[in-house]
Amino acid sequence: MQSTARNFKHNAHDALRDANLQDSLSKLKVGFSERRRQAAERLPEFEALRDRARDIKDHTLANLDFYLEEFERKVLALGGHVHWAPTAEDARRIIADLCKGAGARTIAKSKSMISEEIGLNDHLETLGIEPVETDLGEYIIQLRHEPPSHIIAPAVHLTKDQVADTFLEHHRALGFTKRLTERNDLVAEARQVLRQKFLDADVGLNGANFLVAETGSSMLVTNEGNADLSNTLPKMQIVLASIEKVIPTLEDAAVLLRVLARSATGQESSAYTTLNTGPRRAGDLDGPSQYHVVILDNGRSSVLGTRMQDMLRCIRCGACMNHCPVYGAIGGHAYGWVYPGPIGAVLTPQLIGIEEAGDLPNASTFCGRCESVCPVRIPLPGLMRHWREREFERHLTPRTVRQGLALWSFLAQRPRLYRRLTGWANRLLAVFGRADGRFRSLPLASGWTRFRDFPAPQPGGTFHTQWARQRSRTRP
């Protein structure tokens, strides 16, 4: 997928002025986040499960090569195939070859963020293969030629009315000529249109929430049942998963499942959790006769053993974006690439480069809500801070910011000068701001005062002088 992360600031400005988007985003607070809070409160073991989930992922990452080989061994023993893709290009080529080999014209896809990451759909289309997205949200944005704006609710930026218009435009040719107004009617129409696609598809392609090393199973969690239809009806199943999706055992999966659905949508359990293990067996009455797993690295292995390794614990629940004030204000598209929100701000610079995505780790208030809800306790603000440091080291930070920081560090290292200067500034602002208690505009601070007033200092001097006074008073 083509990145527009470089234009983050511009994207964010546009997003703030988009009335439909702001309407959709206003539902985030009362939707997923509130339901997550209730689900967590209903389960007394939730915090202990989060600790365990973090430990399972850390253990797996420390032994990642072992578990990947173990997974491969099990798949091969059952007559399945494992393909290793170091880069996005490798993965595209492997999948295209498999589709061509199967003589595929249509493939039924269920939601896979990695397929967005490697730009799979565009590639298949150039080869004359039609990829049909079957997750409702993915289907809607595929019709609109838009990228996903959320990792579990890809069409969360759209209102019901926008979906109705999209369906009317694209389904008219199929005989659906009425503009729908109810959500359940929209769902029913998509079901009807996509049912035929499932039956026609030659290949089913899906991602994986987990790969279980113990059994060689790929595990998928969905609410719609689309992934299950896509891995049952076509004659070939392709699973596309990145290296960090592997986990050791089914017991570990049980722990991760308990935190995944609750963190994502606040459900006790998603409707469908499916384990696929190899191709159909002798005597089976349905199921694909070919089972392929494509394992993608795409830069992830180089994160292991570094301070950034924690990002690989991510189980893609979306809780960090549901709870992020920045995501809540601008939505997912402004981030400019596949993964938005706090995890995107950490992952995107790793996957496409800090030069391209440098604005993303800076788009944070460091309020820490993302870390506080992350089911695998990824220290997201800490990782964003680390990216900011790297940007600074590599002179990617804008000149004005660097000069500002240089000036501040010059002063901070000279405490007497610092106190004298801040004292003057404080008195000056207090004198000029006495009348209103605030400033509507201020020289050198227009970036602040354009959007909000700057408060005039309260009487009593700077923090330093008040602190000194307080200490001398309380000291015996």
Can you tell me which of 160, 179, 420, 427 binds another protein, judged by CB under 8 A? 160
Specify the pairing of strand 217-222 against strand 272-276.
antiparallel
Nearer to another protein, 281 or 434 (CB): 281
- Is residue 154 close enough to count as binding another protein by CB under 8 A? yes
According to CB under 8 A, which residues from 313 to 352 bind another protein? none
CB-count burial class (<10 Å; 0-12, 13-18, 19+) for 453: middle
- Is residue 90 close enough to count as binding another protein by CB under 8 A? yes
Q: Are 245 and 280 in contact (CB under 8 A)?
A: no
- Is residue 134 close enough to count as binding another protein by CB under 8 A? yes
According to CB under 8 A, which residues from 28 to 87 bind another protein? 28, 31-32, 43-45, 48-49, 52, 56, 59, 62-70, 74, 83-86
According to CB under 8 A, which residues from 195 to 224 bind another protein? 195, 198-199, 213-217, 223-224
> Cα-Cα-Cα-Cα dihedral of 233, 114, 20, 191, to 10°?
0
- Is residue 98 close enough to count as binding another protein by CB under 8 A? no
- Is residue 444 close enough to count as binding another protein by CB under 8 A? no
Number of residues that bind another protein (CB under 8 A): 105
Maximal C-alpha separation, the chain: 88
Residues of 182-209 as b/e, b for ≥16 C-beta within 10 angstroms? eeeebeebbeebbeebbeebbbbbbbbb
- Is residue 176 close enough to count as binding another protein by CB under 8 A? no
Nearer to another protein, 277 or 362 (CB): 277
- Is residue 97 close enough to count as binding another protein by CB under 8 A? no
- Is residue 269 close enough to count as binding another protein by CB under 8 A? yes
Find the shortest distance in angstroms from Cβ 79 to another protein.
11
User: Could you tell me how far CA 370 lies from the centroid of its own chain?
Assistant: 11
Q: Per the structure block, which two tokens stand in for 177?
A: 């000529």
Q: Which of 337, 350, 377 is CA-nearest to residue 58?
A: 377
Nearer to another protein, 79 or 398 (CB): 79
DSSP, collapsed to helix, strand or coil, labels residue 239 as: strand
- How many CA within 13 A on the CB side of residue 418? 12
According to CB under 8 A, which residues from 280 to 299 bind another protein? 280-281, 283-287, 295, 297
Find the shortest distance in angstroms from Cβ 190 to another protein.
8
- Is residue 135 close enough to count as binding another protein by CB under 8 A? yes
